[in-house]
Amino acid sequence: MPYLVSFHLGWLIGSLLLGFCMGWISVVQRGNGTSKVTARWLAVLAAALVAVSLTHVVPGRFGYWLDLGLIMFACYLVGGTIGAWLRDRVVSRTAPPAAV
């Protein structure tokens, strides 16, 4: 794992910045997202992929790609979360007060 981070640091920073930009420019939707069933299936899929990665079930090049893809996806999600949170803070601070 440290090898992946040290060797692919530029790509990981790039996925973090891409996630930040997508989080910043995305329209924040306060409505319905994915359904609970779909969210559970996605959570199970993510947990299964992490478990496969941690137990090294997939050997060789494909296991390496799985590890790298999971790390890059995590960096993207962290960057997107930070970007959306900062945009929400900036927009809510500059919004005019509501008229009563």
Residue 16 has pLDDT above 90, yes or no: yes
For residue range 49-91, list pLDDT tens digits in order.
999 999 999 999 999 999 999 999 999 999 999 998 998 888 8
> Which region among 5-14, 24-33, 83-92 has the lowest average model confidence (pLDDT)?
24-33
50/45 Cα distance (integer angstroms): 9
Under the phi-then-psi rule, with left for phi > 0, alpha for psi from -120 to 50, and beta for the rest, what region is 60? left
State residue 33's pLDDT score: 73
Confidence of residue 42 (pLDDT cuts 50, 70, 90): very high
Instruction: Determine the length of the chain.
Output: 100
Report the C-alpha gap between 65 and 54 in whole angstroms. Answer: 13
Q: What is the pLDDT of residue 32?
A: 73
d(CA 5, CA 52): 19
Q: What rounded mean pLDDT belongs to the chain?
A: 87
